[in-house]
Amino acid sequence: MKKIAAWLMTGSVLLGACSSAEEPVKEKEETTAPAKEPAAEETGPVLDASYFNEVEEIEGIQVIQNPENTLVLVNKEFALPSEYTPPDLVRPNVTYSFGDQDIEKSYMRKEAAGALEELFAGAKENGLFLFAVSGYRSYDRQQEILAAGAAASNEAKALESIAPPGMSEHQSGLAMDISSESNGFELNQDFESTEEGQWLKEHAHEYGFILRYPKGKEDITRYVYEPWHFRYVGKKAATEIKENEWTLEEYFDNVKPAE
């Protein structure tokens, strides 16, 4: 009986071992990682559609049909109508390089004029005195300036810094050339090294203005660097342009019309 019991015990152990060995090994449970959400699409500035140029091709020129748009893009591709004169031109209450003469170039559109007054006041609070040199310019006047520039050198050279008539921001009434007494009231690249020029470069956007033809962007603007030429676009657009180091052309390359 003892032998039988021993055998039974041994068999029980063997059976136990076999049972354990023959049990199917549980496969490792597969865990599925939660699907990653698609990366949010980068969104650029959004702008009401009314701020984009509406153009009509006339004799091979893209002529702007909504010139009173304060964000109008005027350059060597898009021209203002030859007969266009802003209906709301006023004379800003600022200091001028030519004194109190009430002449064409002392005017700007009303909204831009108010912003220019604030810009000059802001500079004055910082101990700097700015002088307005040239604002609104008619189509006919632009023709005269280009003709004079071409006569002084040649037309190709003149067009590096002088806009063809209709393609000048000055006709929009939204631009102002600015200088300082420290720069002899001149419009030249030396203005960038003056305290006034440096302050404008860093702070103009706070008042809705942009440095329209910046250094290093000549291939985009198609004009030489002009540290004196400031264009009103409003504070929101000016801040976006400043923060991204864009030109106005690049701004419209990135901005999206509001849906």
* Residue pLDDT, tens place only, 65-89: 999 999 999 999 999 999 999 999 9
Q: What is the mean pLDDT of the chain?
A: 88
- The answer to whether residue 227 sits within a structural domain is yes
Which residue segment(s) compose the domain that 246 sits in? 46-257
Give the mean model confidence (pLDDT) for residues 137-151.
96
Instruction: Tell me how far apart the alpha carbons of residues 197 and 216 are, in angstroms, rounded to a whole number.
Output: 17
Asked, for residue 170, whether it belongs to a domain, the answer is yes
Distance between CA atoms of 229 and 213, rounded to whole angstroms?
7
CATH number at residue 249: 3.30.1380.10
Buried b (16+ CB within 10 A) or exposed e, 211-234: bbbbeebeebbbbebbbbbbbbbb
Going by pLDDT thresholds of 50, 70 and 90, the confidence category of residue 15 is: very low
> Is 183 a member of any domain?
yes
Q: Give the angle subtended at the CA of 76 by the CAs of 72 and 81, to the nearest 5°.
A: 55
Task: Please report whether residue 222 resides in a domain.
Answer: yes
pLDDT reported for residue 16: 37
- Does residue 122 lie within any of the structural domains? yes
pLDDT tens digits for range 28-65: 444 455 555 555 455 678 999 999 999 999 999 999 99
Looking at the domain assignment, is residue 113 inside a domain?
A: yes
Considering only CA atoms, which of 249, 256, 241, 254 is closest in space to residue 77? 249
Instruction: Classify residue 12: in a domain, yes or no.
Output: no
Residues known to be catalytic:
226
Alpha carbons 256 and 253: distance in angstroms, whole number: 8
Predicted confidence (pLDDT) at residue 251 exceeds the cutoff of 60: yes
Query: Is the residue at 131 inside a domain?
Result: yes
Whole-model pTM over 0.75 = yes
Supply the pLDDT for residue 45: 81
> Quick one: how far is CA 217 from the chain centroid?
12
Separation CA 33–CA 30 (nearest Å):
10
Structure tokens at 233: 């676009």
What's the alpha-carbon Rg for the chain, to the nearest Å?
Answer: 35
Please count the structural domains in the chain. 1
